[in-house]
Amino acid sequence: MNTDFRFGKYDFTPIEDTIRTYYPIENPEKYDDKNVYEFPGFEKLNEVINDNFDIQKHYRERWVKFKNFLKLELKKPVQETMSAFHPCYSGKVVLKKEKNTSLVYRKELHFYISLLGPYYSIIGLDSSEILLEHTFSTTEETRLVPYRANHAITVSPFLEYEEQFTLLQEKIVEYFPDYKFVPFKISMRNIPGTSLFEPYNEDILKDSVFYALFRPDDIFNTQTRGDNFFGALDWLKVKKLNKIRLEQIREDFLKKSDINKSDLTLHKVWKLQTTTRLPSTQKNGGASITLDSIQVLDLSDATSAVITTEENEEPSSTAYSIINDEIRFDHFTSDAIMLIISDLTINQLKVIVRLNVQLKDDQKLEGDVFELIYIPY
């Protein structure tokens, strides 16, 4: 599997290790719906599910006790939303429910507690249900039938969800102090092999981190609000490098830098020389944003970049591509944050950081906000 779970200062490799234990992600092409059950992780997965669901003493001690704790602390009912044969305790808390003759509108917080490792997730859901007449062909009877629609999911403490989302998160961590929030951006990562045990499932989460750690859920097929990297602070790397390792890294960069030193090419090792803040266009307020600068940008390989954001920390690698003068790193850029090449010479690379970020209180930050100038390492 060619999937990197290191994002600059953040290290999500424990998630990868957990998934590898239970799912055939190393070589999914070797398995199909007939022989996948021979994979050793399948038996381990079943053992986890049986231990947490089928043994009633464990189920009461682990789930029922936790559900009652949440009900008491949140002062709201907690409804179970578990899905059969999946390694996750899950539930929801209804924050708001409006109902008239034929329409019901709900605001809910859904939460998920993985049984495979110390991971959890929270999602806010806005949905509605309308009653419409339907005629059944077998009896020709006409009666009202509910039709449900999901309008948006909120993936972080955001606007009207902020207070209750934060409270639910605090209570989960209070009960499970070693558990970490899995950011939505990580949850949606595609990992082939995680849904081989259910090859005919066409859920939108199929082959995703969320599917592997938690369970399938139909609430995700809609628009998203909030910060999709929320929770990343739980995964900060704090390891600092010793002098020997730092020297090894510098020597490696210097060797690569010498190869294309006199060529006009992007594929060099670049070090940051200056960072200049540019006047940006802001709508609905004076919000601002700060970004971690890439101190060393190793583009000597045409498809895999090595990035250093702090001189005394381990560099991280990521796949990347160049599309219309935009450098797109798999782990560092998105539609909201773009890196645009504005000028390239033998001795200099200029990059513009362009943002299109929706902030709180309907504020929006967009435009070219930084100019980064790099020189050969």
Please report the DSSP string for 122-140 in residue order. EEEEEEEEEEEEEE-TTT-
Mean pLDDT of the chain: 86
One domain, residues 166 and 88:
yes
Q: Give domain status of residue 56, yes or no.
A: yes
Average pLDDT over residues 252-259: 90
One domain, residues 329 and 368:
yes
At 354, is the pLDDT very low, low, confident or very high (cuts 50, 70, 90)? confident
- Domain span including residue 114: 6-235
What tokens does 28 get? 């999914």
One domain, residues 88 and 137:
yes
Q: How many structural domains are present in the chain? A: 2
- Looking at residue 46, what is its pLDDT? 92
CB 125 within 8 A of CB 219: yes
- Looking at residue 194, what is its pLDDT? 83
One domain, residues 125 and 27:
yes
One domain, residues 270 and 336:
yes
- Range from 69-78, 213-222, 280-289, 367-376 carrying the lowest mean pLDDT: 280-289
User: Is 226 or 240 the better-scoring residue by pLDDT?
Assistant: 226
At which of 208, 235, 262 does a domain end? Answer: 235
Q: Give domain status of residue 297, yes or no.
A: yes
Residue 179 pLDDT more than 90? yes
CB 168 within 8 A of CB 107: no
One domain, residues 160 and 15:
yes
One domain, residues 219 and 249:
no
At which of 200, 235, 270 does a domain end? Answer: 235
For the chain, percent of residues with pLDDT exceeding 70: 88
Diameter over CA atoms, the chain? 81
Q: Give domain status of residue 1, yes or no.
A: no
One domain, residues 226 and 284:
no
Residue 68 pLDDT more than 70? yes
Q: What is the pTM of this model?
A: 0.64
At 1, is the pLDDT very low, low, confident or very high (cuts 50, 70, 90)? very low
- Looking at residue 288, what is its pLDDT? 46
Q: pLDDT tens, 32-56?
A: 877 888 888 999 999 999 999 999 9
Q: pLDDT tens, 268-327?
A: 999 999 998 887 554 444 444 445 678 999 999 998 999 888 777 778 888 889 988 999
One domain, residues 66 and 147:
yes
Q: Is 38 helix (H, G, I), strand (E, B) or coil?
A: helix
One domain, residues 208 and 342:
no
- Looking at residue 287, what is its pLDDT? 44
Q: Give domain status of residue 366, yes or no.
A: yes
Average pLDDT over residues 162-181: 95
One domain, residues 104 and 198:
yes
Q: pLDDT tens, 186-223?
A: 999 988 888 777 755 666 677 889 999 998 888 888 89
Give, in order, the Cα–Cα distances in Å from 191 to each of 12, 20, 209, 303.
Answer: 14, 10, 7, 19
One domain, residues 149 and 267:
no
Give, in order, the Cα–Cα distances in Å from 316 to each of 174, 209, 270, 310, 373.
Answer: 32, 20, 15, 11, 21
- Looking at residue 286, what is its pLDDT? 43
Average pLDDT over residues 13-25: 92
